[in-house]
Amino acid sequence: MEEATFFGPHLTLDLNGCNPEKLSDFDLVFDILDQLPGKIGMTKITQPYVFKYSGLVPEDKGITGFVVIAESHISIHTFQDKNYVFIDLFSCKPFDTEYAKKYLVEVFEAKTANIQMLERGHDFPRSQVPAAQPLELMRAS
């Protein structure tokens, strides 16, 4: 695999015309955040944090959640009365973006999708992983 010239991919999905029952399903949002990291090669380091939202604008109610992954984060913000969901997946390493796109569009039954892939951190100074020492040198230490 060719070394990336940027820090990591940031996939954003703005999904419209979604199934309002799925957008209001707390357990579904939790399960997506709980299972998606493993499906796309990421490492979940916290349980998903998900809550129902209803604020100053009543028709903006929905489910909001995120999960912290070793590589960064995944977040979901649903708007059930507007049939809309915003989803972000940010990682410091490549992941299966095609699977993530297809899965999320299908699970929310989106009629339209505005999907963007950003390459973040083109000038981010990368550190080198130290080379492993031969076993003989480690024993001599």
**Looking at the annotation, which residues are catalytic?**
72, 77, 92
Beta bridge partners, 49, equal: 66
Rg (CA), the chain: 19
Alpha-carbon separation of residue 58 from 15, 28, 50, 81, 112 (angstroms) = 20, 22, 19, 9, 24
Alpha-carbon separation of residue 89 from 40, 51, 55, 71 (angstroms) = 10, 19, 25, 10
Beta bridge partners, 139, equal: none
